[in-house]
A and B are shown apart, each in its own frame.
Chain A
Amino acid sequence: MSKQFALSVDRIKCDGRGLCAELLPELIRLDDWGYPILAPGPVPEHLIPLAQRAVEDCPVLAIALRRTQLKK
C-alpha cells in the first residue's frame, strides 16, 4: 500500500482569498466567486512542496494536505 497525499478545502472556513490558486495553479483553480476548485485525485509527488506552501499560506487555514491510503 503506498502513501499518498490529498488536498481538501474546508468550505466553511474558506473566504475565497485565492492565494492557494496562485501558489498551486496546477491543482487549484478559482470559480467565478473566487473559491477554489481542486483537481480530483492525489497530489503528485513533485507538487507536494507547493501544496504545503498553499496550506501554510492560506490566511484562514481552510486547506489541508492529508495522507491517504490508496485503496486496493
Chain B
Amino acid sequence: MSSSVLWYTTRGAGAVTLILLSCVVVLGILSTLRVQSASWPRFLTTGLHRNLALMTLVFLALHIVTAVVDPFTNLGWAAALIPFSSSYRAFWLGLGVISFELLAAIVVTSLVRGVLGHRAWRAIHWLTYAAWPVGVLHGLGTGTDTWSAWMLAITAACVAGVGMAIFFRLSSGSADPLAAARTMFRSAVDRREAR
C-alpha cells in the first residue's frame, strides 16, 4: 500500500475518533442526567453510548495501526504502546498513547462490568475525564490538519459539546431524587461493614 494512503487514513481515522469519542462522552453524561423523552427512551442513550464507544475503538485502532505501519513515519510498535518513547514528537504522541491506553482500560472494564462490580467499574470509568482531554491535546499538538479550518471547526464543536455536557452535569446536581438519603444510608452500611 502506498505510504500516502496510510497517512491519509491515519489523519482521517484520528478525526473520526475525536468526533465519535466526544459523542460517547456526551451520551455518557446524558445518561447520568437521566435525559429522556417520549421519542428518546433511556435505554437508547446507554445503548448508543456503548455501541459508539466500541466503534470509537475500531477507528482508534485504525488510526494507530496505519500510523505505525506507515514506512514514512517509522514509528515502531513500541512507540504506539509506551508513552513518550517515540523518536518523533515524543511528547504529543505520548499523550495519544496515554489517551488510548486509558480508553482501552475503560472499555475492557466495561465489558466485564458484571464481574468487576459497580464501584470498581465506575471508579475506572471516571478516567474518561482524563482520557478525553489528553486525546484532544494530542490532536491539537501533533495533528497534521489541526489548523485547517475544517479540522478547527470539528475540534471546536467537540470541545463545545463536551464542555456543555459537563457544565449541565455540574450545574444540575443529582438527577436522583433520593440522592441524599441514599448517600446517608450507604455510608451507614459501609461503617457497619468496616466494623
A residues apposed to B, CB below 8 Å: 12-13, 15-19, 22-23, 33-34, 56-57, 59-61
Contacting pair B182 A15 (CB below 8 A): yes
Which residues does chain B contribute within 8 Å of A13, judged by CB atoms? 118
Contacting pair B114 A56 (CB below 8 A): yes
In the bound assembly, the distance between CA atoms of A57 and B44 in angstroms comes to 10
Which residues does chain A contribute within 8 Å of B182, judged by CB atoms? 15
Q: Which residue of A lies closest to B32 (CB)?
A: A59
Given A15-B176, A61-B117, residue A22 in contact with residue B41 (CB < 8 A): yes
B residues apposed to A, CB below 8 Å: 31, 34, 41-43, 46-47, 113-114, 117-118, 176-178, 182, 185-186, 189
Minimum CB–CB distance from B187 to chain A (whole Å) comes to: 13
Q: What does DSSP make chain A's interface, helix, strand, loop or mixed?
A: loop
Task: Please name 5 pairs of A and B residues whose Cβ atoms are closer than 8 Å in the assembled complex, sorted by A.
Answer: A19-B42, A19-B43, A22-B42, A22-B43, A57-B46
Q: Which residue of A lies closest to B176 (CB)?
A: A15
In the bound assembly, the distance between CA atoms of A28 and B41 in angstroms comes to 15
Q: Which residue of A lies closest to B50 (CB)?
A: A57
Which residues does chain B contribute within 8 Å of A22, judged by CB atoms? 41-43
Contacting pair B118 A61 (CB below 8 A): yes
Contacting pair B178 A19 (CB below 8 A): no
Contacting pair B34 A17 (CB below 8 A): yes
Minimum CB–CB distance from A72 to chain B (whole Å) comes to: 31
Which residues does chain A contribute within 8 Å of B46, judged by CB atoms? 19, 57, 59
CB-contact partner of A18 in B42, B114, B177, B178, under 8 A: B42
Query: 19 extra interchain contacts, Cβ-Cβ under 8 A, other than A12-B189, A16-B178, A57-B47?
Result: A12-B186, A13-B118, A15-B176, A15-B182, A16-B176, A17-B42, A19-B42, A19-B43, A19-B46, A22-B41, A22-B42, A22-B43, A57-B43, A57-B46, A59-B31, A60-B118, A61-B114, A61-B117, A61-B118
